[in-house]
Structure 1
């Protein structure tokens, strides 16, 4: 029998004392005891001050410079000839957009078709109308009667059923709408095609597996999602078309810019008349931008909080 003794117990080790700095900013300090130092951005304030000074100088010159002739601007801003020109500009924009995007949707789905022939035709159209300057296209349509004195309808390369003269078929306004719409269709086709391609193919496969018809897939699945990608680019194209209607002034159509040129050609007040056109373009472009915002917000439901 042997006797054993318990092992000796080590004395407790005390933790080392915190340094004075740690005691002052200890972890137990409450939020009210902490000193919060905001981040300072001195150069940001310098940039803000410089921009504000430049903006104030610009506005001061805009208001006080007599060369702007604001009295002449106020006289012509709501003149009947200017308002009529604004209406013609809006008509050109509306018809060019409506016809252009309707044709562009057809071209976009032709490019997405499984038929190689349809894809080639759509690509050829887009290539041609994006390559030829718009002013050249407008002049071609304006001189259609010179190129084709009459049009016939009947069996291709065979008997003609009836024909009519083209002299009065395409006037200046019709040629402008036709040129703008056909030109716009080439760009609209690529915008729509890009939006459709942005929709995941897995959703269409799932819809096909559920037996949903093709047209319903397009209407209820593809287009609502594609519109989120289509709308910003489409709005840019519409605004560009709205401002680009000034190019039809080469055809002596009384749109806004042409009418302003006519007026300042008579009275010599170039700057205030140009400001009339500028302010109208700004106001109408702003209205289109506001409309774009609400349409985008509508199609963003369920995707953006």
Structure 2
């Protein structure tokens, strides 16, 4: 009973639930914003790496290598705590969004590069023969095919972004984890942390299953 009262205290969980829901809303907003910005930036970095002049290709390669190697927490701390020394002050939400987007963009760029390079060369030649411009070829011919190949790994990366939003609590952003730790301190009971874990599981587990389904479907399509 002592274990239940300490970690699964129902009255404490009921009191903490509205606080956790506010944190969940911030977590979802942060995750979605980071995914949208990171996806666009990642695609642009990918195209720069594949088709831009050599200086831009080199810059894109360095960007991808650096931000795939750096832990997100390090990037977040540098943005939130170091930038004020050069006169740039950002909110906790903006700092977390930028940090997550920059790292997500690096991984997205690599996934998109692999997807584009998997398209047969004849598809590019056919688009050119039809007189399509580069951007029109990408939008109408290449990217739709590459998307079918990259859907599973991109979805997996999105799941990682939502998990990594918990790091935003380091800069005092009121995400789900931060709200849970505050509720724990307020109520002198760790049950809110268990509640936060249950909420994370409830919205991330379906996404994890979706990744598995997409991977299996991709394998079946390749066999077919």
1:252-295: CA deviations, max 9, x gaps?
1111111111111232322x322211111112114545776899
Alpha-carbon contact 2:19-2:183 (below 8 Å) kept: no
For CA contacts below 8 A with separation 6 or more, give which structure has more relative contact order: 2
Higher helix fraction (1 or 2): 2
Query: Looking at CA atoms only, which structure, 1 or 2, has the larger radius of gyration?
Result: 1
2:43 aligns to what? 105
Correspondence for 2:8 among 62, 69, 83: 69
Q: How far, CA to CA, are the matches of 2:11 and 2:110 in structure 1?
A: 44
Query: Is 1:175 paired with 2:80?
Result: no
Q: Residue 222 and residue 262 in structure 1: after superposition, are their counterparts in 2 closer, same or farther (change >3 A)?
A: same
Query: Is 1:95 paired with 2:36?
Result: no
Instruction: Compute the TM-score of the two structures, normalised by the length of structure 2.
Output: 0.85
Q: How far, CA to CA, are the matches of 1:296 and 1:215 in structure 2?
A: 29
Matches within 5 A, 1:288-303: 288-289=207-208
1:26-76: CA deviations, max 9, x gaps?
xxxxxxxxxxxxxxxxxxxxxxxxxxxxxxxxxxxxxxx736525246515
Q: How far, CA to CA, are the matches of 1:292 and 1:83 in structure 2?
A: 25
Q: How far, CA to CA, are the matches of 2:159 and 2:12 in structure 1?
A: 24
Instruction: Compute the TM-score of the two structures, normalised by the length of structure 1.
Output: 0.64
User: CA offset at residue 215 of structure 1?
Assistant: 2.4
Correspondence for 1:281 among 188, 194, 200: 200
1:228-253: CA deviations, max 9, x gaps?
22111111111111011111111111
1:185 aligns to what? 105
User: CA offset at residue 227 of structure 1?
Assistant: 0.8
Query: Is 1:194 paired with 2:133?
Result: no
Aligned residues: 220
Please, what is the CA RMSD of the aligned residues?
Answer: 2.9
Alpha-carbon contact 1:228-1:296 (below 8 Å) kept: no
1:193-241: CA deviations, max 9, x gaps?
1111111111211222232332232122211111122111111111111
Matches within 5 A, 1:256-275: 256-270=176-190, 272-275=191-194
